[in-house]
Structure formats: C-alpha cells, structure tokens
Amino acid sequence: MCCAGSKVMRIVRQIMCSTALLALGGCLGGDIVTPSEARNLSSRTDAYAALRDRNSDVPNSAWDAMPTQGQARFDGAAAVRFGPDNARTRLAGDVSLTVDYATGGIDGQIDRLFGVDGSNDLAEYRGQLRVGDGRIGVDRPNDWSAGYSGTLRGNGDRIVSGGTIRGDFQGTPVRTMEGRSDGSDTALVNGVEMPFRVDIVAEQKTLTAD
C-alpha cells in the first residue's frame, strides 16, 4: 500500500508551497489564516514530510510477525482530497489510531485539517473524521480496514463524508500503518455529491500488553 504514503507526501508538498506563498503575501482562505498561523502550519507540514521520509521504503509486515496480543497507538498524517479535478481541495492533518491486536479492532480519528482549494486559498478546517469498526486480517494477516465518517467545515464549505479505508501494516516488527479510502467514496460538499479521498500514514508510538 505504498501509494497512500506517496499521496500524503504530494499533498504535503503542495501545501508547503502555499504556506510559503502566503508568507510572501499570497491569498488568504475564507477561514482567515494569518501569517503567524501560516508559519505554524508550515512547521506541521515539515513534520509530516519528515514522517513520510522516515517510512518511505518500509515493506509490509511479515505475516508471522503480526502481534496477537496487546494494544498500540499509531500517530501520523492524513491527506484528504475532494471536489472536481479542475478545482480540487487538498488538505493535510493528523491521524491517531488505536489498534487492539488481541481483538483485531481499530478506531481513532482524523482531525486538525488544513490546506488549499483550487484557487490556492489557505484555510483550516474544523471537525473530524471518526474512524471505527476496524479489523485486522481482512484478506491477509498484515492488512486492515476501517470505516470513517464525519463533518468538516472550512473556507465556506460544509463537507459530510463517510466510507472505508483499507491498508497494510508495515515493518517487521510492526512500525507503521498505511491506508487509503475506496476509489468510489464520495462526500456531500454544500449538498453536492463529489469524489472524496483519504490517505493515511501513521507510526506505532506505544505498545502495551493486555
């Protein structure tokens, strides 16, 4: 599932360019982002880029190395895209997931999203996408899937979305999770149905025994 991380990185680079332009006098989005806020967002994109670089070549976890006991927390970056090809909004934000290796459950959230629309307006987005009803070992011992749903508001838009993320565990022992939404997922953007995509990459931060 290497494509998910690549898409996260591509969107992060686009947002990095936009925050740099804003610092030089570029456009502000509907949810006003000041130059000082833009610098904060730029530092977050740097952190996302570093995360992607650390994990760009990690292979999928060996089947027989997948844990069967304990819980783990994964923190990382999410990329969200919605709208038509000629005016697509691209966002980046945080993802935090809790994995129960004993039961195979996965839940968490995607939040603190910010990014640019088709006009390169920069804005922060309120709300979150809840991740839940997840399970490990859908088709293989090292893959996973989970549902997501939620409402986001920013730059004058209201986005209501829901769908499924599928991905893989990576590293032996487990180091990261990557995933992306189904290609058919859509969202209601101000009441109009549009394509909606989510990609994530997250690192395992803690592992506790039952």
At how many degrees (to 10) do helices 35-54 and 2-23 cross? 150
Q: Count CA within 13 A, CB hemisphere, residue 123.
A: 19
- Report the DSSP beta bridge partners of residue 82: 89, 196
Domain of 191 in residue numbering reads as: 2-208
Report the CATH number that the domain containing residue 154 is assigned in CATH. 2.40.160.90
Question: Counting Cβ atoms within 10 Å, is residue 64 exposed (0-12), middle (13-18) or buried (19+)?
Answer: exposed
Per DSSP, 73 falls in state: E
Tell me, what DSSP letter sits at residue 69? S
In DSSP terms, which residues pair with 194 in a beta bridge? 187
| C-alpha of 26 from chain center | 26
How many domains is the chain partitioned into structurally? Answer: 1
Residues of the chain with pLDDT under 70: 1-39, 210
